[in-house]
Amino acid sequence: MLDQALDARAARLNDRYRHHAATEVLRRALRDPDLGSTTLVSSFGAESVVLLHMVSVVAPGTPVLFIDTMMLFQETLDYQLEVTERLKLTDVRVIRATEREVALNDPDGTLHRFNTDACCDFRKTVPLERELSRFDAWITGRKRFQGGERQQLEFFEAEPPSRLRINPLAHWRPQDVQDYMAENNLPRHPLVARGYASIGCAPCTSPVKPGEDPRAGRWRGSQKTECGIHFIGGRMVRTGAKA
């Protein structure tokens, strides 16, 4: 692994790439020795195809981690296969909780009804951490316009104790996302046309109404804002705004 002075490394990288466009941030970051081994984590959700396409252009052999919670929409599973084939991604790794973890934590598949944090933890955070332990950095699709804790995102951020996160789309606007998908004729997740602006597990995701925050359909009616994978070390916290 690389040195542990993560904040200094993140600051140095942000200075280095401050005036670069998203595609160049991604292209150069995948070759930057100051980042080390890097993977893209993708939900194959509403906007995921943008980063997946960028990776397919600049480095199609980049490892892509897709977390199958075993509670995803069938449309997401089908879309993952479609996009992988169309973009000719060569190293998509589907990761899941083990059978033993499911048997211990959620044998009847009802945990999400009374403890969404615990459900997200064993179905998403724990399996992802197992895979991320092999890498020095990972790429996310988070953007400032998504609000909440994401409003101050930079291209690079520290994730103690030993990783960096790369957010190439941090400064994009909603229209930038739509323009990129249209200009590159990229396939849309089928649930977007049915009002799903942010897509997670089927039991905990609902369509959004006109004027609502794009993530309002995630864990609707609760204070939960994130599944946990975007908190430092997977730490589950709650905030007052959707993030």
Positions annotated as catalytic residues are 227
Geometric angle at alpha carbon 178, from 175 and 180, rounded to 5°: 105
**What is the distance, to the nearest Å, from the Cα of residue 81 to the centroid of all Cα atoms in its chain?**
17
Distance CA(10)–CA(96), nearest Å, equals: 30
Residue 201 marked as a ligand binder? yes
In this structure, what is the dihedral angle of CA atoms 209, 45, 180, 210, given to the nearest 10 degrees? Answer: 0
Q: How many CB atoms lie within 10 A of CB 108?
A: 5
Residue 120 marked as a ligand binder? yes
Structure token digits, residue 87: 């973009």
Q: Are strands 156-159 and 38-41 parallel, antiparallel or unpaired?
A: unpaired
Residue 238 marked as a ligand binder? no
Structure token digits, residue 196: 């799903």
Distance CA(118)–CA(236), nearest Å, equals: 9
In this structure, what is the dihedral angle of CA atoms 138, 76, 206, 46, given to the nearest 10 degrees? Answer: 50
**First-to-last C-alpha distance (Å) of the chain:** 30
Sequence ranges of the binding site for [4Fe-4S] cluster = 119-120, 201, 204
